[in-house]
Structures are given as structure tokens and as C-alpha cells.
Chains A and B, each alone.
Chain A
């Protein structure tokens, strides 16, 4: 697990987009675009969607809970990156 302390520099969106993109390329055996709708293109199954949530939580030390836990936040590499940045930036709260 990749634990980041408060003092550590937060990764920028380009870094996160790159990391998520690499993970998806490996797991899906295809190259995905940052803006591509992964659900509409049928690339992500309902089972893989949850793996993706757990992967992001473990990679960035975040907790996706409450209202953040919705498919729309995982629709594209861009959306996932926005979610990760927001959760890294804000203290974890439920709801």
C-alpha cells in the first residue's frame, strides 16, 4: 500500500491519470483514453468495477464511502483522477 503522509507532496493529476491508465491497460488488455466512457464501451464489468474501487483505495490510501461510492465517479480515467485528488485533498468524512 502506498501511504502518503501530510507532508508528502500530493501527486498531480497527470501522474494519477498515468497510473490509473497503466493499471487499466494491464487489466483490460487494451489502451484506454483519459475521457473514454469505460462503462458505455463495455470495458468494465460490474465485478471489475469494485476491484477498481479497492485498487484506488489501496494505491492512494483513500476511502471511497457514502455518496462518493457511485459508478459515475469511475466512468473514466479523468473522473477517477478527480475523485482521487478530491479525497486526497480533503479529510475523510462519511457522506
Chain B
């Protein structure tokens, strides 16, 4: 199960998604990930309805999307010759009704995700792929909240979603083949490559990466090496692209702690509990790149 390939029964019809002319993507949650995924979609010409509970958050997200579109084009990661898809922002989940696919990207909290997914699932037509973007909450858990578990699939986009081309795709026990074809088509239309894995806490990337970052934080707390040295060693000796602590800052230290707690609760492994230094930094408001400071100082926050 290494790629998006699934055995296709000729009677299975792919949902009407993955065609920029007719796609209407709903993104629910205008945080870092929702904003990045919306940027990716409109940057590929797909119209997006972006939903959040906060008008302020939506305003900030609209600014970040404009910045992200420029960032993606600067890096050659977004096509220069595609007309940007129309972005609509709204406070009402009812506005996702006619969407051809829904990406749920609210906070990494199973209870909140379940609530939003339940409502989204009751709003869109049957057969509309309902994509929960999560770094590690098992899809089977979330499936209990939705009307049609067959329509639910997991993705784990990396940050920034518009720069990183690979996406971890999680097939839940009830996810239908049609839904898998739908998510595959959508990712294809956005220039992404999905790798399908089975459902499990933390999937593959978070299960491997997050405990490693947690240990890197402990290494710093123990005074073995400072953050720069840890990252330099991981880059120079082991070929890690950015180093674990820079990665932590990019993920957001609060999000990382949430993901670690989730992993600890579901695996029973205490090594996964967030390191004290991580919790201290969060308590001090040092959340990483998005707050201007984490393990590194980013000076002025991107505006």
C-alpha cells in the first residue's frame, strides 16, 4: 500500500472532484494548516470556501493566503500561469453545502474535530469526500462522529502545504474506494503526491518525527547541546533538511505538544509526553515561528 493505487472496481465512480473547472473546495478552519491548504488550492485555480468561527482569523488568513501565493510562486512551487481560484470566507458552515470536497483543518483536538466533521457531514451531499487533516488522530475515531464513515478520509499535509509536494493519506477502516479516488484526484489537481498508509495514532510521519523532536528538546533541556548545535548535527551528519528544533518552531510548539499528548494517550508510551521545556516555552507564549520566537528568534513576525 505504498502509493495511492487502489484496486478499482469498474462500477466505482470517482466523486466529481479534481477538476478545477467544477471543483468547489471547502476548507474548515483558517489556522496555519487550513490557510496553507486554501493557498495551495486557489494557487492551482480551485475556488475555495474558507470557514472559521472568527472573523479576525479569516481576515488574517486572507492576508496570509496572499502572502503564501507570492511565496509559492517565488519558490516555483505554485504555477505562474494559472488564474487564482476565487476565495470566499465565511463564518457559516452552511456555506459549504454545494462543495465537491471538504477539508476539515480545525484544531488538533479530537472532540472539536468530531463536532465539526459531524456538522460538515450533515451539510454536504452523500459521496462528497470529507477529508480530515490531522497529524495523528486515528480516522476510525473521527468516523464515529460522521453520518457516512465511507466518505471520511485522513490527510496529513505538511507545513507550508503549498510548498511541500508530498501528503500522507490515511485510509480509515470504513473509507470507501470512491473516497480514495476522490482524494487522489483532488491532490493531483493541486500538484500533490499522496502516500497511503493504514490508520493508526500518529500514522507514519508524526509517530517517527514527533518523539524525535521531543527528545531533541530534552537534549537541549539537559544541557547536552544548544538548539543550533542539535539542528546542525542532524543536518550535517544525518541529512535532516532543517533540524528537529527548527521543525518544531515551524510546526508550532503548542501544536507539537498537542500532537505528542495525543500520541502518549493513544500509545501509553510516556516518552511521548511533551518535554517540560516545551511546556515552559508554550506557557511563556513562545510558540515558534508564528509567534516570532520558539527555539529560535524570528525577529519580526511575517506580515
Contact = CB atoms under 8 A, between A and B. Distances in A.
Contacts of B302: 50-51, 54
Interface string A61-84: 000010001110010000000000
For chain A, what secondary structure do more than half of its interface residues adopt (helix, strand, loop), or is it mixed? helix
B269 interface: no
B73 A47 contact: no
A53 B70 contact: yes
Contacts, number: 33
B88 interface: no
Interface residues on A, range: 10 to 19
B71 interface: yes
B205 interface: no
Contact of B75 (A27, A46, A51): A46
Contacts of A2: none
Contacts of B160: 47
A47 B289 contact: yes
B303 interface: yes
Contacts of A46: 71, 75, 163
B242 interface: yes
Interface string B42-79: 00000000000000000000000001001101111000
B105 interface: no
B67 A50 contact: yes
A49 interface: yes
Contact of A70 (B76, B250, B289): B76
A51 B67 CA distance: 10
B299 A71 contact: no
B259 to A, nearest CB: 20
A45 interface: yes
Contact of A45 (B74, B76, B242): B242
A70 B75 CA distance: 7
A53 B74 contact: yes
A50 B74 contact: yes
A74 B163 CA distance: 18
Contacts of B163: 46
Identify the interface centre among B75, B160, B250, B289: most chain A CB within 10 Å of its CB.
B75
Given A47-B250, A69-B70, A54 B75 contact: no
A59 to B, nearest CB: 12
Contacts of A71: 74-76
B242 A50 contact: no
Nearest to A27: B299
Interface string B236-269: 0000001000000010000000000000000000
Interface string B108-152: 000000000000000000000000000000000000000000000
A27 B153 CA distance: 41
Nearest to B159: A47
Interface in A11-57: 27, 45-47, 49-51, 53-54
A71 B73 CA distance: 9
B166 to A, nearest CB: 15
Interface of B: 67, 70-71, 73-76, 160, 163, 242, 250, 289, 299, 302-303
Kindly list the 10 A-B residue pairs having the minimum CB-CB distance in the complex, ordered from nearest: A50-B71, A69-B74, A46-B75, A69-B73, A46-B163, A69-B70, A71-B74, A51-B302, A50-B74, A49-B74
22 contacts: A27-B299, A46-B71, A46-B75, A46-B163, A47-B250, A47-B289, A49-B71, A50-B70, A50-B71, A50-B302, A53-B70, A53-B74, A54-B303, A65-B70, A69-B70, A69-B73, A69-B74, A70-B73, A70-B74, A70-B76, A71-B75, A71-B76
